[in-house]
Amino acid sequence: MTPASPAAALAHWWASFLPECAPQLFFGRKPGAAATAHLLNLLAQRQVHSQQDAQRFEASLTALAQRALDERGEADTWTDLAPFGLLHRAAQDAGVTLGNASLPVRSRAIARPEGAIARLGPDGPWQQIWPPLP
């Protein structure tokens, strides 16, 4: 499926993690970074959602992201050690209870009218998620 808009691509990117064990990439040189990543990955194994949850979440996030794009020209979504902002609101609206590791931690996706980009983990490279690359 190719999303039809930047808002839909952003929502699809996030929702795609729910029915799987979301990757928890926690980089850093500080003591405890590896232990934190290990713990988050153990949590993620217990926070896998149904396909129906993912679909409801995606539909809700698409609507919220599109509204943000229309009103502000940008939809910015992120997680730290939990989902924030539009992600949290979309889950509430969809009746989906997200755990701290349901989505990849310290990740971000941004939609603008001309496209959408996403970054997995705090040090991951930005990737274009919309428009689709040829």
The structural domains of the chain, with segments of one domain joined by +, span: 6-130
- Residue 40, C-beta contacts closer than 8 angstroms, at least 6 positions apart: 24, 26, 100, 101, 105
Span 34-58, pLDDT tens digits: 788 888 889 999 999 999 999 999 9
Structural domain 6-130, CATH architecture = Alpha-Beta Complex (3.90)
Mean pLDDT of 110-132: 94
Give the chain's end-to-end CA distance (angstroms, integer).
14
Residue 110 has pLDDT above 90, yes or no: yes
| pLDDT at 3 (0 to 100) | 84
Residue 25 has pLDDT above 80, yes or no: no
Tokens, residue 47? 């926070």
